[in-house]
Structures are given as structure tokens and as C-alpha cells.
Amino acid sequence: MLSGAGTAPLSTTGFTLQPGQSTSLSVPTSWSGRFWGRTFCSQNATTNKFTCVTGDCGSGTLECSGSGAVPPATLAEFTLNGAGGLDFYDVSLVDGYNLPMLISPHGGTGGNCNITGCSADLNNGCPSDLKVTESSNGEYVACKSACEAFGDPQYCCSGAYGTPDKCKPSSYSMFFKNACPKAYSYAYDDGTSTFTCAGADYAITFCPGPSTSVKSANNDQYPVPVNVSAGSGRARPVFIGIAAIVLATIWRLW
């Protein structure tokens, strides 16, 4: 597992959740990391190489072993025990979108200790020039960010557009923002998309459905228990990837 400065690896860096299934992970006191779901995954019968159409991490196995998600992928991002002892968390669509996801804090305190995420299915409504299709059947499986699709600095908030006053929301980022107001839509979307909490456990739900029950371990002590579950919104397994946030992305959580 790839660790950021002062970040300890978790006990696993990838696992499978069947629809309705959940699991719990204990996270170190001060940890920065991200979770994401991989879809349309398969294992080659000859080489045993494990690959996914969306969210793949390139490890060739179920465990990502420190490798990050290949965009587009919906990301749950955390910096625990950060400034002022607060946890900072968000659901990001900056690297695009592949499936719905929610983060729910439990047992914590703080004025911004709220549920966040993106529960909408954006793949079918994705702008045509951002859509990703599954080659075997043409199904829309993900939605790219404009930065990934075009590589233009104005969409990537880079170069001459590398400051908040220069890089503004685009029509593409507003597609994400209008559908999921609490999720990150582009790099400088901090004001409405970063949440803080103290002493909480966190439940991450992939593909939440109407009957999804979000629960977390009943323990307010560190290390933080993180409950990860697959909702009832999709009838296929979700393959979970975990990695430490590299230094280039930690700033978005502070």
C-alpha cells in the first residue's frame, strides 16, 4: 500500500462486497486515504490477472496494494485527526464518476458533521463527450471529468488556471454539482463539499438504494471503525479499492 506522510497502511487494500453485504475496517488514529468501488471486474482464466472496466488500480489482483484508482471513479476521501483534531471528509467527482456513494458519520460532534455523497446514477445522463461505455454491450458505465476528457488547463485548474480566482466551474462540472450538490465537482469546490467531524465512526455505502440501512460500529474511540457496505441499488458485486491519498490531493481536504 502506498502511504502518504505519516500514514499507516490498512489491513486490506481491496475486497468484494455482494449486494446488501457490509464489512468493518479499523483505521489508524491519523490516517489519510480514499475508498472507491470498481465495477465490471473479471479474472483471466489463463493469467489469473484481475481487471475492472471502471476504477481499476492496475495491480492485477483484488488488492490494490497502494495503487490509486484509474479515472473515472467516485472517491470517498478522508483526513482523520487533522487541523484542530477534526476529521475532514468528502465524496469527490473531480476524477469523474462510476457509481453512487454516501459517507455517513456516526457518534461524532461538530457543526458540519453531516452525511455527504452522491446517491444519483449519473452514467446515463452524463454529457455525451464524457460518457464511458462497456465495449461488450455498449452500456454506459462511467462519466469522465472534463479534465480527463479534454486535458484543458481551464478544466484541470492547472497552468494559468491554477488558482481559485482563475479556475471557475464549467458547464461540465455543473452537471455533477447540480446532480450531487454536496459532492466535489471540480478542484476548487471546497466551500460546499468538504465536511468535518470529531470522534466519529464512518459508514461508506456504495450504490445506496431505497432500502439501504447505513450502520457503523458502536465505538467512538480511535482507531476509527469504518463500515463499508453495498446497497441494494445494483444487482452486481462491488469491488472495493483502498489507497492512501498522495500529497497532491491532501490539500483538498484541509
Residue, of 90 and 19, whose pLDDT is higher: 90
Q: Name all domains of the chain by residue range, CATH numbers in brackets.
A: 14-253 (2.60.110.10)
124 Cβ contact partners less than 8 Å away, ≥ 6 residues apart: 140
Confidence bin at 240 (pLDDT 50/70/90): confident
pTM for the model stands at 0.86
The mean-pLDDT minimum among 5-9, 43-47, 144-148 falls in 5-9
The residue behind cell 478542484 is 187
Q: Which of 107, 73, 50, 29 is nearest to 206 (CA)?
A: 73
Instruction: For strands 224-230 and 201-206, give the pairing.
Output: parallel
Q: Taking residues 126-130, what's their average pLDDT?
A: 97
Q: What is the rounded average pLDDT for all residues in the chain?
A: 83
* 162-191 pLDDT tens trace: 999 999 999 999 999 999 999 999 999 988
Q: Taking residues 133-150, what's their average pLDDT?
A: 92
Q: Taking residues 200-208, what's their average pLDDT?
A: 91
DSSP state of 32: E
Q: Taking residues 50-78, what's their average pLDDT?
A: 93
Confidence bin at 10 (pLDDT 50/70/90): confident
